[in-house]
A and B are shown apart, each in its own frame.
Chain A
Amino acid sequence: MTDRTPYILEGETGDWEVVMGLEVHAQVASQAKLFSGAPTAFGADPNCNVSLVDAALPGMLPVINKGCVEQAVKTGLGLNAQVNLWSRFDRKNYFYPDLPQGYQISQFQFPIIGEGEIEVESDDGYSFTVGIERLHLEQDAGKSIHDLDPSSTYVDLNRSGVALMEIVSKPHIRSPQEAAAYVKKLRAILIALETCDGDMEKGNLRADVNVSVCRPGGYDKFRETGDFSHLGTRCELKNMNSYRFIQQAIEYEANRQIELIESGKGVDQETRLFDTTTGETRSMRSKEDAHDYRYFPDPDLLPLELQQDWVDQIRVNLPELPDQKKERFISDYGLTPYDAGVLAADYEKADYFEAVAKGRDGKMAVNWVANELFGRLNKEDLEIGDSPVSAVHLGELLDLIKSGDISGKIAKTVFDKVWNGEGAPAEIVEKDGLKQVSDTGAIEKIVDDIIAANPSQVEQVQAQKAEGHAKPKALGWFVGQVMKASQGKANPQAVNEILKAKLDL
């Protein structure tokens, strides 16, 4: 495990550090919308999942969906956060065609979930803590489609009123990689809790990133004093739905801000959009243009009051969370905290690992899963779900090693063959005659032949022994020759023992 080292950007006038806080919008996994009975199913024809409430017809009123509240509470517990037994819905007022009510029902002043924190594992092998500021429930807007017609905008209200959880982090994120790792971890928690499907391509999980740059030390001063001015002026990068874009956008934005500050122009607080084609961020609206949302308590809804018993019941029934899984991997399979964290953070990887490791040697399993398999998947840009080697096959391969049927080296050959679709490991070993030779008679014969054919090497071994070497180097040469002669199938341990006996070592 490595240490967390500051991510430094070099400017003309010196070094800069980057600080980020994220607002992640996660669509609540639910059958119906937050305040109407309309279904949330993805892929329906435009404007088909729309109730009278969603379309804001006159006289329509919102009624809270208890299921969505439960999902928010579950998520809050999963983020080790405070569950507020009293919270309230407010209206955020603004006009836009995809916002039928003319306001979004959200929780501005009193969110359902308060402060919490999560541990995040970075790709660089260290872990760090990110504070959660709050989580609140709110309605999603509909979708404006501008590119179907040159002069009109079309509106699809299927998403209108779908429940979102906005999860706001504290500014505890220090590099583009950390930002991605944080979203990954959050996603893992949501998926484990089944409170959001985590589908970023469909926009069901998307992030707004608040980025600012400061001189080294500024962040520490902020942590000591709580004074945000040490962090510099921030810009908000809106609506990013891939880890790669998040990192690219932050890198671009941080450098843009550094250039502005160094050229004496300074950063304007504003909302920016990341253009995925140019890799640049561009201004969406400045602070001056910011809406005055005229928040006020929604008079159509009563405050949301929860019973402690109900919350406790949800807590008792929480599924295993990534961090608990990590602990279990450490204690049950003897994994290092880092390996355990990486596996546990991705439920597909964790499930794969468990399928391989169950009833087998955990360290051996993690070695094959994390190094061989993930390495190969990375190289070929594949997801775990697309792995040509199934967990069953990898487990079978491990069994063949364990039983001594094949050596670790041969196992890599077999792995390649499984990867290439040549069949199951046992089948391949059988078919290609890769089974390890442990028959001492056969090995002895090969050893005898090689000793007889190489008298000078025998002399060298004896000389090294006389010099007091317990393990003469030349022995290795003999091992190599025997393995070669057996086409790698000889059991290396047996070869060693027989050679030592025959050479009188």
Chain B
Amino acid sequence: MTDLTKMTLSDALDGLEAKTFSSVEITEAFISAIEGANSSLNAYVVQTPEKALEMAKASDERRARGEAGILDGAPLGIKDLFCTEGVRTTACSHILGEFTPTYESTVTANLWREGAVMLGKLNMDEFAMGSSNETSYYGNVVNPWRRNGGNAELTPGGSSGGSASAVAADLCLAATASDTGGSIRQPAAFTGTVGIKPTYGRASRYGMVAFASSLDQAGPIAKSVKDAAIMLNVMCSHDNKDSTSLNAEQPDWTKSVGKPVKGMKIGIPKEYRVDGMPEDIEKLWQQGIDWLKAAGCEIVDVSLPHTKYALPAYYIVAPAEASSNLARYDGMRYGVRQDGQDLNDVYSNTRAQGFGAEVRRRLMIGTYVLSAGYYDAYYLKAQKVRTKILQDFQTVFEEVDALLTPTCPSAAFALGERHDDPIAMYLNDVFTVTANLAGLPGISVPVSLDNNGLPLGLQVIGKALDEASCFQVAAELETASGFSSKPSAWWG
């Protein structure tokens, strides 16, 4: 029998349906893969093998009865940001201690309803704040990819580093992730996987630990564009428990995969050509343009003039919202409390010791920009910039169907390399934050390897609610590039 863990989600579901193998069998294969790899990659912070096998057994029974759901029997990894009933959920922060929810996030509930199997909780940057997965209380995740001939440990990106690493190293069929400024797309690009952030409001935020409410969106990281579409179909839903959830028609996105792109107009925003961008990235972008042209797309040069303000605006809005969202972690009702001489002392000890340095930095920034006398200059201004950025997109989308950009300005970098330089770290998000600020769907698809043999991704940004075009174009790039490289398994 072939190694079940190497299959795509789509193939695995076919195999399960054809009863080529059972859910218990594929689940066992993943459990043993995780056992072998996790000490090297640190992708899982909680492993739930018993629960997984229980779920797999129940799935096989359902399938035998002919009651299988869309994802029935498929072993998945869940980013630790999603609350899972009875399974520790901490958003990889010390402050939540051993917090174990009594409730299930809507996104994961949707997956279980369709029969998916949970392998465990995936590592991430603390509260999703980071671009390298180095801010996790549970230690960094290691990218399964290495530079040609080198053995330096690389970052899988962040904040969904665990999700990306686990998918790339075949430690799950697919994973949930979340994206506030690029946290799905950047790790996907760094690990040769596919990641999509849907339109803001497509996926419910209920039960997802909040970072920045107006930017946070759940989405999948998967092995192929089709797999991502299967996952997204199930993850998204209208939810009355989230006031920002959209009540919009949800098409079957798998139908967009493989649909010809001939005649589509693809915009190339000139502002995404930044100074000091590696030649490999330039080449990759041009290659993408050529592929789409060859497939019959019309390429249109467009301008998104306010792009340069996106990153600063993002690093005001996101910390501002975070400073308020994270106020609930006060040691009073759950999580870790540090004692002190009086109430203020308890608060400061709890929060100083419970939060890591990057979270504390962002809480300070967020508190500052919302303070009396600074609010107008920072927060209000950033919101105005946000409106301008949205207007830029709306203008170009009158002309084009989707935009093509690189996902990131570089390939995966070494762990520790940018650890002490927050600005360099924040620059990772330069091509991805715009979609969050404007609430638009964005997908990253791997198309080639750079000089060092590391994967690089292209990003397709679509109109609001038009994930379909993102999948359509991404699938074309996937096919045209023929990208099928996998990291060589040096871990366990």
Contact = CB atoms under 8 A, between A and B. Distances in A.
Is the A/B pair a real complex?
Answer: yes
B274 interface: no
B89 interface: yes
A95 B347 CA distance: 9
A100 B370 contact: no
Contacts of A295: 370, 375
Contact of B328 (A58, A62, A155): A58
Interface stretch (A274-282, A296-304, A316-324, A492-500): A296-304
Contacts of B371: 292, 294
Contact of B327 (A101, A155, A302): A101
Interface stretch (B202-210, B354-362, B394-402, B412-420): B202-210
Interface stretch (B97-105, B262-270, B304-312, B472-480): B97-105
Contact of A302 (B212, B244, B375): B244
Interface in A284-331: 292, 294-296, 299-302
Given A102-B328, A299-B213, A58 B91 contact: yes
A91 B324 contact: yes
Contacts of B83: 58-59
A59 B209 contact: yes
Interface string B302-332: 0000000000000000001101101110101
A59 B205 contact: yes
Interface size, A (range): 20 to 34
A56 interface: yes
Contact of A102 (B99, B208, B243, B327): B327
A95 B331 CA distance: 11
A179 B62 CA distance: 70
Nearest to B103: A52
A58 B324 CA distance: 13
Main SS at interface, chain B: loop
Nearest to B367: A294
A63 B240 contact: yes
Contacts, number: 95
Given A102-B324, A300-B243, A59 B347 contact: no
A467 B274 CA distance: 121
B333 interface: yes
A100 B332 contact: yes
Contact of B214 (A63, A91, A103, A299): A299
B241 interface: yes
A102 B330 contact: yes
B362 to A, nearest CB: 15
A102 B323 CA distance: 10
Contacts of A463: none
B209 A61 contact: no
Given A55-B333, A59-B205, A62-B243, A93 B324 contact: yes
Interface size, B (range): 35 or more
Contacts of A299: 212-214, 244, 321
B327 A103 contact: yes
A57 B210 CA distance: 11
Contact of B333 (A100, A103, A296): A100
Interface string A52-90: 100111111111100000000000000000000000000
A302 B439 CA distance: 14
A87 to B, nearest CB: 14
Contacts of B333: 55-57, 100
A296 to B, nearest CB: 6
Nearest to A63: B243
A296 B370 contact: yes
A59 B334 contact: no
Contacts of B367: 294
Contact of A59 (B210, B240, B326, B332): B210
B190 interface: no
A337 interface: no
A60 B103 CA distance: 10
B379 interface: yes
A97 B243 contact: no
A451 to B, nearest CB: 91
Contact of A301 (B240, B243, B324): B243
A312 B101 CA distance: 44
A58 B99 contact: yes
Nearest to B209: A58
Contacts of A102: 324, 326-328, 330
Nearest to A101: B328
Contacts of B343: 97
Interface string A96-108: 0100111100000
Nearest to A153: B343
Contacts of B321: 299
B345 interface: no
Interface string B89-114: 10100001001011101000000000
B242 interface: yes
Given A294-B371, A300-B213, A300-B244, A59 B206 contact: yes
B18 interface: no
A59 B241 CA distance: 11
Contacts of A97: 330, 332, 343
A299 B201 CA distance: 12
A296 B381 CA distance: 13
Contact of B96 (A58, A93, A103, A300): A58
Contacts of B101: 57-59
A61 B242 contact: yes
B330 A103 contact: no
B372 interface: yes
Contacts of B372: 292, 294
Interface in B226-252: 240-244
A60 B213 CA distance: 11
B328 A56 contact: yes
Contact of B105 (A59, A62, A103): A59
Give the top 4 A-B pairs by smallest Cβ distance, nearest first.
A102-B327, A299-B213, A294-B370, A299-B214
Given A58-B83, A61-B205, A101-B327, 15 more contacts: A57-B103, A57-B334, A59-B210, A63-B240, A63-B241, A93-B323, A100-B332, A100-B333, A101-B328, A102-B330, A103-B327, A294-B367, A294-B371, A294-B372, A299-B212
Interface of B: 82-83, 89, 91, 96, 99, 101-103, 105, 205-210, 212-214, 240-244, 320-321, 323-324, 326-328, 330, 332-334, 343, 347, 367, 370-372, 375, 379
24 contacts: A52-B103, A56-B333, A57-B333, A58-B99, A58-B101, A58-B328, A59-B82, A59-B83, A60-B207, A61-B242, A61-B243, A63-B242, A97-B330, A102-B327, A294-B323, A294-B371, A296-B375, A296-B379, A299-B321, A300-B210, A300-B213, A300-B243, A301-B243, A302-B243
